[in-house]
Chain A
């Protein structure tokens, strides 16, 4: 299989071209935006994990701080990104294999509803302890 070969000049403006965009393309853009956020988080997370190499005192004082409501709120935002990216990614994978292409609007809606429900349950768990 080969990628679509668009003219280079047109490719650069692709993200800013809103003409005749369909829901699938918007959902695809959302997946990339959440993906960029998750890549940034991945490297922040790896940097924080280096605290483990400094021993128990350093790590445990970080853990105490990370249990504050502010950090728990960031966890909920992170989880929102993961759920949107993960579930929308499954839709993109399916449609990429020509599965459910005609039902993709409904699929997107159902998956995002699922993401919202899972996020609400997880947020209750995170703040409920």
Chain B
């Protein structure tokens, strides 16, 4: 019997958004990694250095964009994996709602940490 799952699935709207955020991450994660782990002395910034770094408005905007992209990309990926396990339509809806809530909480938490550093 032929395996009907031998081919990759075709795109959905969520998948397209994941591609968009994924391309954004290639750029933003690259910048984040280089700035925080390669340029920074010893591979990590000390507290004073983190504060100075995040108080730069351009860096702040880029880091917030990075937070939005990485959170939506990650949780859309989790959703894709869970949906692929064969959930009922109701369960799929609940998973989507739970992950949306988790995403909002994650971004809110990230913004709170950022505010705690730069205030």
Contact surface of A with B, Cβ cutoff 8 Å: 1-4, 6, 8-12, 14-15, 17, 19-22, 24-25, 28, 32, 35-36, 38-39, 42-43, 46, 49-50, 52-53, 55-56, 59-60, 63, 66-67, 72, 75, 79, 82, 86, 89-90, 92-93, 95-97, 122, 125-126, 129
Contact = CB atoms under 8 A, between A and B. Distances in A.
Contacts, number: 129
27 contacts: A1-B13, A1-B16, A3-B9, A3-B12, A11-B85, A11-B86, A12-B86, A14-B5, A14-B84, A22-B6, A22-B7, A24-B8, A25-B8, A35-B74, A39-B74, A39-B77, A42-B70, A42-B74, A46-B113, A52-B50, A60-B47, A63-B42, A82-B29, A86-B22, A92-B8, A93-B22, A97-B11
Nearest to B102: A43
Nearest to A79: B33
Q: Per DSSP, are chain B's interface residues mostly helix, strand or loop, or mixed?
A: helix
B10 A1 contact: yes
Interface residues of B, number: 49
Contacts of B7: 22, 24-25
Nearest to A3: B12
Nearest to A122: B38
Q: What 9 pairs between A and B have smallest CB-CB spacing?
A: A11-B86, A56-B47, A53-B116, A8-B86, A12-B86, A19-B3, A59-B47, A20-B3, A93-B19
